Amino acid sequence: MTETVGKVFLVGSGPGGCGMLTIRAREVIDQAEVILYDQLPGDEVLSSLPQRAELIDVGKYGDKHTRKQGEIEDLMIQRAKEGKRVVRLKGGDPFMFGRGGEELETCREQGIPVEVVPGVTSAIAVPASVGIPVTHRKWASQVTVITGNEDPTKEESAIDWEWLARSRGTIVILMGVKNLPTIAETLIKFGREPMTPVAVIERGLRPDQRETIGTLVTIAEKATAAGVKPPAVIVIGGVVEMYRSDEERMVRPPSQKTQ
């Protein structure tokens, strides 16, 4: 008898709240038999997961991983080979620093059907929620999105910090709160104007969203004083001048109210 094979869905939940889920994401989640999730989609999305499905927490909390990446992929493949519809649920977009590419490769290697459901990335949506466009004819005709997990001072960095500092575009950093002081110092060291505006937006598009604004010179001290914690999106460049603290959040989903 031919073995029944299920399907894996790599689903991006967007930057926060059910209002930022795509229609396809909602359909796939509601039809799932197994959902492997982490904390990044946020409480509103996680509380909407179907309770009839097998819900498996595979998140990272601080420096503690609930499951290693290999274990996550093994679970995906195992459940799919049992003939189940498996959702790997991620915050933002599954291919934006979400290891979705690795999971896609694994599914292909194992002959498991896989569908990628793109999500709205926080790299663009979160700055927009406070009135910051990542590109603007006055300030930036390019935008570079990087991960802030990597220490800029290590010898063999995967990021060309010197090029980045001298580029004239917007820099958006995800997962960079821990290394923010070093990042700011490195950009100044390689020639970025010290008074370049910086915005740090915590828990973007969620009810408890908060912003800290400064420059490359001041942002580390301000972030420490404010007790900034991840998840947060860091925006560096002239476009930050578009930020207005009292601006109505027109892109915030109606279901989410500002406290």
> How high is the mean pLDDT in each 10-residue block of the chain (259 residues)?
80 92 98 95 94 93 74 97 97 93 97 97 95 95 93 80 94 96 97 98 90 97 96 96 68 46
Give Dmax over CA atoms of the chain in angstroms.
Answer: 68
Q: What per-residue confidence (pLDDT) applies to 62?
A: 55
Q: What per-residue confidence (pLDDT) applies to 153?
A: 75
Q: What per-residue confidence (pLDDT) applies to 65?
A: 61
Closest CA to 45 of 96, 119, 104, 126: 119
Q: Which residues contact 152 (CB under 8 A, 6 or more apart)?
A: 159, 161, 179, 182, 183, 186
How many beta carbons lie within 10 A of that of residue 132, not counting itself?
26
Beta pairing class for 197-202 and 210-215: antiparallel
Q: What is the pTM of this model?
A: 0.86
Side by side, the strands of the sheet bearing 34-37 are: 54-57, 34-37, 85-90, 7-12, 114-117
- Residues marked as catalytic: 38, 60, 175
